[in-house]
Chain A
């Protein structure tokens, strides 16, 4: 090769080297970038959009207070409830947008796909989603994975703990036959025993069924104190109305849909049905009330599920950890996230501790509420109860 070519190659190599190493002077002033992957569209789109609203409220505060003297940028990507899209979204956030920390998360399948990617490109995952223990086990050794949402067994634990507190001794349970319901059903037997309760009936149904009368008639025959109904929003309507029709009046009906249909509050048959959730808008906690207020002002509607305050908590705690760490270095962030102690709108204290398989588990319990005259009144645990549980509940009277 002649000298010109050699010189050219050397110059090229030097230029590449400099470009790789060079950091522009203004690097310190680069904004802090937080990425979030949520399903804005697809079957869980409603919950994902609620999360986005929670993030917006959090960003209002964070931007106002400032963070380490730098601008903060939130980049939300839609995973559409589709694991391949989630994997691509992760790569975009990490390799193109160069985020400093990853928030978000809702469905289990997408969580697994994203986590697989995160193992190759280590980043702190402050994850609000996935309740399936399969995800917990897949990420058992991950120190950088912080999980906010209760796992399935936490949900079961709270449910049966609540039932125990009501005085019920025998339980009949029906669950929708998808991953959401089946996950609860698997845990049910063990947890019932833990709390000294007897599960006399445990059967599946198909979500969206217009007619639950055979199921409810069977459940009625089991003669249990409590009826637990794990379903989606659309199923609670036939459940409540048809339970009245077949004369099924256990001492308490406990439904656990992730959200409730619009108009349920007006349904006579829905009165005194109890529910479990991470949070309800009727929560009496001061911080919660202020959150609901700000949400109403900003979006002109009531928050319909716990996803908004959960997302808000997600972002605020991440920002706090960054603030304490003084930088966005992974090791420092991990250390500070572990030190999180936060009491926010959810109303339960948030810390990260070990769970059965995981290292950093946030919320571990649900609260119970009862529909009383169109309002979701929190009835358990006692410390945050806003009213007294009607037990036995006067269904049909």
Chain B
């Protein structure tokens, strides 16, 4: 069971790390995060169904597409509310999420679509365990991306600029960092990450206009547990979520129904007891 929980956490962390970035650097809680993920999934489905492109191979395409979309959304809307009260930011992204979800319904209808990728059902032996091949792939991709992000943030100039802005916006602009440009890049990066998570979902599962909310909620739980803004904490928090869900589903009788409550309870507990997060 532990292995399943770990693998599941790969998808969760990939779905959440973009949100953690957006919250940490820009300070915007993007309620529409799941919808960018959903759009990435549709892109993955379309590329596979029309051109036979494996979602793995489509990662660069998805990343660029969602980066551009995120940038546009930021420019058109989010940028204007960055200095407004939090309420406004929240509501704007909430509105964007409703907009995108219904746009998907209008454009593509409510039916779920699944990409019949060849190795979707294959399993692979991992020592004494047999695990699903797509899950393993998603986990690997998630780890790679998260660790690369961590490296970028730590090493590169842009990354350092992002961290500077995250710590102190005014201070950062005083030393010459173009804060607005960093915000734009960061938001684009966060939506690109969401889009890539969506591609992985197209790989492993199916897509419909309604999948966004579930992942937004899980991402919330994870970043709250990690502590808003803590990027590496996302990996640990995803593990906690993935493992606890898997254990409840397996060991608790009728666990499947209760497991859904796990992450809500986790959010509540963390917020009430240690609002700064578990992994600071």
| A touches B in complex, CB < 8 A | yes
Chain A residues in the interface with B (C-beta under 8 A): 43, 45-46, 174, 177, 203-206, 208, 210-211, 213-215, 217-218, 233-234, 237-238, 240-247, 259, 261-264, 266-269, 304
Select one of A213, A234, A304 contacting B4, CB under 8 A: A213
Pick the residue among A208, A233, A269 that contacts B121 (CB under 8 A).
A269
How far, in angstroms, from A210 to B207 measured CA to CA in the complex? 11
Which chain A residue lies CB-closest to B109?
Answer: A46
Q: List residues of chain B with CB under 8 Å of any chain A CB.
A: 1, 4, 7-8, 11, 45, 49, 105, 109-116, 118, 120-123, 130-135, 201, 204-206, 208, 210-211, 214, 246, 249-250, 253-257, 259-260
A261 touches B113 (CB 8 A): yes
Given A203-B254, A203-B255, A214 and B249 contact (CB-CB distance below 8 Å): yes
Q: In the complex, what's the smallest C-beta–C-beta distance from A247 to chain B, in angstroms?
A: 6
CB distance from B148 to the nearest CB of A (A): 23
Tell whether, in the assembled complex, residue A245 and residue B259 are in contact, meaning their CB atoms are under 8 Å apart.
Answer: no
Q: Which of A177, A233, A234, A245 contacts B133 (CB 8 A)?
A: A245
B254 and A206 contacting across the interface, CB-CB below 8 Å: no
Q: How far is the CA of A237 from the CA of B207 in the complex (A)?
A: 10
Nearest A residue to B12 via CB reads A210
Instruction: Report if A269-B130 is in contact (Cβ < 8 Å); known contacts: A45-B110, A210-B8, A210-B204.
Output: no
Chain A residue at minimal CB-CB distance from B214: A208
Per a CB cutoff under 8 Å, which of A46, A177, A203, A217 touches B111? Answer: A46
Q: List 29 A-B contacts (CB under 8 A).
A: A45-B110, A203-B254, A204-B256, A205-B259, A206-B260, A208-B210, A210-B204, A211-B4, A211-B246, A213-B135, A214-B246, A217-B250, A234-B208, A237-B205, A238-B205, A241-B120, A241-B121, A243-B121, A245-B121, A246-B130, A246-B132, A247-B130, A259-B111, A261-B206, A263-B114, A267-B116, A267-B121, A268-B116, A269-B121
**Top 10 A-B residue pairs of the complex, sorted by shortest distance between their CB atoms:** A269-B121, A245-B132, A244-B121, A266-B116, A205-B256, A214-B250, A214-B249, A204-B257, A241-B121, A245-B123
Chain A: CB-nearest residue to B4: A213
Known: A46-B110, A203-B254, A241-B134. A267 touches B123 (CB 8 A): no
CA distance A247 to B259 in the complex (A): 23
A18 to B122, CA, bound (A): 79
Shortest Cβ distance from A174 into B: residue: B256
> Once the chains bind, are A263 and B115 in contact (CB under 8 Å)?
yes
Q: Which residues of A contact B249 (CB under 8 A)?
A: 205, 214-215
Instruction: Report if A263-B113 is in contact (Cβ < 8 Å); known contacts: A206-B260, A218-B250.
Output: yes
> What separation, in Å, do the CA atoms of A34 and B186 have in the docked complex?
57
Roughly how many angstroms separate A153 CA and B167 CA in the complex, as a whole number? 61
Shortest distance from the beta carbon of A59 to any chain B beta carbon, whole Å: 23
State whether A214 touches B257 (Cβ < 8 A).
no
Residues of B within 8 A of A177 (CB): 256-257, 260
* CA gap between A269 and B210 in the complex, in Å: 24
Q: How distant is A203 from chain B, measured CB to nearest CB, in Å? A: 5
Q: Which residue of B lies closest to A261 (CB)?
A: B112
The interface residues of chain B lying within 8 Å CB-to-CB of A210 are 8, 11, 201, 204-205
Interchain CB contact (< 8 A) of A245 among B112, B122, B246: B122
Write out the residue numbers on chain B whose beta carbons fall within 8 Å of the beta carbon of A240: 121
A263:B211 contact, CB within 8 angstroms: no
CB distance from A106 to the nearest CB of B (A): 14
CB-CB nearest in chain A for B136:
A245
**Least CB separation from B11: chain A residue:** A210
Q: How far is the CA of A247 from the CA of B130 in the complex (A)?
A: 9
Residues of B within 8 A of A45 (CB): 105, 110
Contact of B114 among A204, A211, A244, A264 (CB under 8 A): A264
Q: Which residue of B lies closest to A396 (CB)?
A: B121
Chain B CB within 10 Å — which of A208, A245, A261 has the most? A245
- In the bound complex, residues from chain A placing their C-beta under 8 Å from that of B246 are 211, 213-214
Q: Is the CB of A263 within 8 A of B206?
A: yes
Closest Cβ–Cβ distance, residue A369 to chain B (whole Å): 19
Q: Report B-chain residues with C-beta under 8 Å of the C-beta of A218.
A: 250
User: A372 vs B208: C-alpha distance in the bound complex, in angstroms?
Assistant: 25
How far, in angstroms, from A218 to B251 measured CA to CA in the complex? 9
B116 touches A263 (CB 8 A): yes
Q: Smallest Cβ distance from A361 to chain B, in angstroms?
A: 30
